[in-house]
Amino acid sequence: MNRPRTSVRAEAARALAPVLQGQASLNTTLPAALAALPSRDHGLLQALCYGTLRHGPRLQSVLEQLLKRPLPASEAPVHAALLLGIYQINEMRVPDHAAVTETVQAVRLLGRPRLTGMVNGVLRNFSRDSKTLLNRATQDPAGEHAHPRWLIESLQQDWPQEYTQILAANNQPGPMTLRINGRRTTREAWLTRAREAGIEATPAQSPDMAVKLASAMDVNALPGFTEGEVSVQDAAAQWAALLLVVEPGMRVLDACAAPGGKTGHLLERAPDGTEVLALDADAARLARVEDNLQRLGLPAQLTCGDLAQPQDWWDDRPFDRILLDAPCSGTGVIRRHPDIKYLRRASDIPALAARQAELLAAAWSLLAPGGQLLYATCSIFHAENREIIEAFLAEHSEASSLTLPETLGQACGPGRQILPGEQDMDGFFYALLRRSSA
């Protein structure tokens, strides 16, 4: 059976349309687009999708100047194709005429031949007057910073001195960072193997087993990946296992564990025989934890359940250490997931904060006297971080916050905040709490 004719730009538009409407994440739409194209086109497809989303609010401001009236929601793929065309002309090394021609062809392949003339005219007008149109776009904060207005205002409120730096960091793709498995090899030994394989890699500034690649690559081409010697994990996320120190004989809970990067790192660093329970409410995502642990060759008890409903899964034995990587807005990882600019709303934050407070209270009830709980998010909003911990400490006299390394981001209430781009890391918040022994 012959596959219907398509193109990289047509598939990119199909993948982007529901994301731009705030209806789906790129992670859910991209696989179908990749499957429709030969592998040689996968890199271009991803570059088009991620780049268009990264610059999307600015591109949208330009497009609004070029259209006589907004396109109806039913023409979302054409709207996406227009943004793709503007992105190619302005940001990629694609000749203007080629960008126009290929985008027009994509619209035809999307089944909208009647709109090809409009698309051709809009993109040619942008090509002729791009400087003026972009200057007008940057008069508005959303166009200037390529972020939705609510997000700019929220960051300005929480980080008045740093918000422009945060916005700029969000618009740059993050590096591919790896974690070396100290049970299998050393960072120096792995770097030597990488150089021998022609891979340019350097030690990250921190933490101790992090490695940064000069350019992204297929994980299966990494020396030792299939043998569990190395995993992909941002350096900020690698701090979790360093901060939650596990001693022999301890029982550890990794709550909200999927996809398992932190679970694996905890096990890599924990003494042999440590009992680790990896919990997640999503059975499909929990399967990814199992896959990751099988590759690492490390054992853990995997349990599907809601942390806030421990009566459904807990055996009444308290934990000595708990990692709560709470579901959050993801505003610290926009550079890796630019679709967050479209998927999040200001109204989401109070609901997320309420859920985080609920999960923290539930996790605390499972912690043994003298035990420690590490609260973590990849958010940079105070409402999801310092305010959660401050309110919790005010309500729990048996809880105290422990000091975290001063080299880790900056002080943020009882915890530490890493801002996006600091030491080339993602944005992350950590707070370490101890339950009194009495």
Determine whether domain 177-232 maps to CATH 2.130.10.10.
no
Distance CA 91, CA 217 (A): 22
Confidence of residue 137 (pLDDT cuts 50, 70, 90): very high
In contact, 187 and 180? CB cutoff 8 Å: yes
Distances (CA, A) of 329 to 49, 51, 214, 428: 21, 21, 28, 11
- pLDDT reading at 321 higher than 80: yes
Q: What is the pLDDT of residues 47-73, one digit of tens each?
A: 999 999 999 999 999 999 999 999 999
DSSP code, position 206: S
Say whether 49 is catalytic. no
Percent of the chain with pLDDT over 70: 99
3-class SS shares of the chain: helix, strand, coil, % to 5: 50, 15, 35
**pTM for the model:** 0.95
> What pLDDT does 193 receive?
96
Confidence of residue 326 (pLDDT cuts 50, 70, 90): very high
> What pLDDT does 2 receive?
40
Distances (CA, A) of 135 to 9, 48, 59, 119, 226: 27, 23, 12, 22, 49
* Long-range contacts at 22-26 (CB < 8 A, ≥ 24 apart): 22/342, 22/343, 22/345, 25/337, 25/339, 25/343, 26/50, 26/53, 26/337, 26/338, 26/339
Confidence of residue 93 (pLDDT cuts 50, 70, 90): confident
Tell me the average pLDDT across 34-47: 96
Q: Which CATH architecture has domain 235-435?
A: 3-Layer(aba) Sandwich (3.40)
16: tokens are 């982007």
Tell me the average pLDDT across 188-206: 96
Q: What is the pLDDT of residues 424-438, one digit of tens each?
A: 999 999 999 999 997
Tell me the average pLDDT across 132-158: 97
Determine whether domain 8-146 maps to CATH 1.10.940.10.
yes
Sequence ranges of the domains in the chain: 8-146, 177-232, 235-435
**Which residue among 256, 328, 378, 412 is the active-site one?**
378
- pLDDT reading at 5 higher than 70: no
> What pLDDT does 1 receive?
33
Distance CA 304, CA 282 (A): 7
Q: What is the pLDDT of residues 381-421, one digit of tens each?
A: 999 999 999 999 999 999 999 999 999 999 999 999 999 99
Q: What is the pLDDT of residues 239-278, one digit of tens each?
A: 999 999 999 999 999 999 999 999 999 999 999 999 999 9
Confidence of residue 127 (pLDDT cuts 50, 70, 90): very high
> What pLDDT does 206 receive?
87
